[in-house]
Amino acid sequence: MVVKWVFEDVYQSCSAPYEYTFPINPNTGGTPAITKTINTISSGAGSNKGIILQEGQSGVAEMSFSGVILTQDHLEALERWFDKRALLEIRDDLGRRFRGVFSTFEPSREYRPRNPWYHTFNVKFTVSGYRTAPSLEYPEGEDRYGRF
């Protein structure tokens, strides 16, 4: 059984619909990238010099994913969800949950004689919260980044 990706308007603060299930899951991406600020300082001269590392605040997590669009409804649903000005939650096929906002939606139409609505798309989602998939140790998942 295929588990579909789902978008949800967390606080139902925008107009309906408050949930959207993908007809076709994205085919690449879907795991957030988090960067850390690292400063380096040289600790001396000569052959015994070392480097001191200072770890700063983690940056904002960003998740990218891409896929295909086959229908007008799918394209327009993605446009509608990109336009929502609200905290959104994405639930993926692995059971992970991501909260945040869309920062980029790039659809690209590709000519297909048998399917005039065929597009590929790339999305960037700025993540404010990430909860892992349920496991034996964490039946509800573990808050890995941000808060839920």
Per-residue pLDDT of the chain (148 residues; tens, 9 = 90+): 899 999 999 999 888 899 999 999 999 999 999 888 888 888 766 666 778 888 888 888 999 999 999 999 999 999 999 999 999 999 999 999 999 999 999 999 999 999 999 999 999 999 999 999 999 999 999 998 887 7
CA neighbours within 13 Å on the CB side: how many for 141? Answer: 16
User: Torsions phi, psi of 80, nearest 5?
Assistant: -60, -45
pLDDT of residue 145: 86
Could you tell me where the DSSP H helices lie in the chain?
72-83
pLDDT of residue 141: 95
Tokens of 33: 């990238």
How many whole angstroms separate alpha carbon 99 and alpha carbon 87? 7
Going by C-beta distance under 8 Å and a sequence separation of 6 or more, which residues neighbour residue 142?
131, 132, 135
pLDDT of residue 45: 66
User: Torsions phi, psi of 90, nearest 5?
Assistant: -110, 125
Residue carrying structure tokens 């349920």: 134
Q: What is the largest CA-CA distance in the chain?
A: 70
Helix %, strand %, coil % of the chain (to 5): 10, 45, 45
Q: How many C-beta neighbours within 10 Å does residue 10 have?
A: 13
How many whole angstroms separate alpha carbon 115 and alpha carbon 123? 22
pLDDT of residue 46: 65
